[in-house]
Amino acid sequence: MGQELWTDEALAASRQVGDARADEAIRRIFAAGDISELQDFMGRLVLNDELPADLPDELRRFLDETEAMPSWHRPELVKQAEGLFNIHGLVSLVSLVLGSLPECYTMRTGVQILALTGQLGEHTNRRLHQTAVMVLAVMGKDGLGPTGQGIRQSQKVRLIHAAIRFRILAAIGAPGFPPAAGTGIPRVIEQARRSVVDVIERDQFHWDLARDGYPINQEDLAFTLLTFGFVIPRAMMTLGVPISDDQFTAFLHAWNCVGYIMGVDERLMAHNAADAAVLFDRIKARQAGPSDAGKALTDALLKVVERKVLKYHPLRPMAPALLRMLVGEDTARMLGMSSRHYRLVWMMHGAIAAVVTEANRVAETWFHVHPLKGVATRIGRHLVEEVTEATYGRKNVHVQIPPEWL
């Protein structure tokens, strides 16, 4: 699908499409009451364990059928993308946290689902850790190879999306889903439905199929994929990493392979930086806007960075300043950055961003150095400490950080 085919009509139609293969697998798993096995599988993946031998047949079949790379997969491009990400690993991580994630929060419809997962127990620091797990699994050494963790982690995210979609559709009584408890409805389906219904009844979640499309639909998936394949290298360049056109293409290619594993429609993938910018801007123009959920998630993300990563009060203004630099002023305002603090404070953050950007430009032009890259690297070191360990129940889960990063 080329630029000329990414029309409003085509993108609108993609909002009414979910992920038929994963949706059917989840439906059967729920109907068979195998949700505990699914949850066990998810936990094992978080811990990077081998697959259990007693997986339900439907789950094993899904994994076997969706683990193959696309026919257009080029291993040499994936290897090039891995090298770019890991050579500049600490800057890459800052680009993910303060560039990629905030762009997801601009989707005024899709962000409702991120807010919903917060209502269901997925808090910001845990979500940050889970995202880091997936990105590091994909971009780690041979992450998308036969023995890498990237493919399994991508399949896990695909199943999570399908499970969330199932719960929402069941809760709102979508066609083909039970609207309420009754004879013949498996108890596990009613439990899944009820958890979302409780949030709806507290007047904290509204989803309409005709207005909003399918939950986690193809347009939203395509945009999310671009926040990794397009926004991360774009942010890295803003932070001073030189990236050639070939490297940018390789990075997009690697993440398109991930998108294929995750069930993203190939027609909604961009294969070079110019096309990626067009598709990103078109979807953003259609779907981006201020929302209470987007502002709340941005605020929560900044608090994690300010309090747990930067820690010292004099350093904390660097978090909103860097976010402004990486997403731009218009997006920053959309995310509530200008209402997060008193006017004097956010003006100071904007001034810091402007001064740092100009100082960086002068240093790069006259002295061929990029101080902003150094700042990002230092922040990245502290960020590693925050995302390398999280608690899941009583288990401590460690992210595997390449030793050369440190």
Q: How do residues 135-164 score in pLDDT, each as one tens digit?
A: 988 998 899 998 788 998 899 899 989 988
Q: What pTM was estimated for this model as a whole?
A: 0.86
Element (H, E) at 165: helix 150-171
State pLDDT tens for residues 202-233.
Answer: 666 788 899 999 999 999 999 999 999 999 99
Question: What integer pLDDT is reported at residue 101 of this predicted model?
Answer: 95
Under the banding of pLDDT at 50, 70 and 90, the label for residue 264 is very high
Q: Residues of the chain with pLDDT > 90: what percent?
A: 41
> How much is the pLDDT for 205?
75
- 155: tokens are 């399949």
3-state secondary structure at position 171? helix
Token output for 325: 């630099």
- Banded model confidence at residue 294, pLDDT cuts 50, 70, 90: very high
The predicted model gives 275-304 an average pLDDT of: 94
The residues facing 202 across adjacent strands are none
Selection from 114, 104, 103 nearest residue 207 by Cα: 114
Radius of gyration for the alpha carbons in the chain, expressed in angstroms and rounded: 21
Mean pLDDT across the chain: 81
- 37 has pLDDT over 80: no
pLDDT score, position 154: 93
Q: Is the pLDDT of residue 55 over 90?
A: no
pLDDT (0 to 100) of residue 183: 41
With contact defined as beta carbons under 8 Å apart, do 209 and 177 qualify? no
Of the listed ranges 118-122, 297-301, 397-401, the one predicted with least confidence: 118-122
Q: Which residue pairs from 137-145 have beta carbons closer than 8 angstroms and sit at least 24 positions apart in sequence?
A: 138/254, 138/255, 138/258, 139/81, 139/82, 139/85, 139/86, 139/92, 139/254, 140/82, 140/86, 140/400, 140/402, 141/82, 141/86, 141/402, 142/82, 143/82, 144/69, 144/78, 144/254, 144/257, 144/258, 145/75
Instruction: Return d(Cα 281, Cα 156) in angstroms, integer.
Output: 28
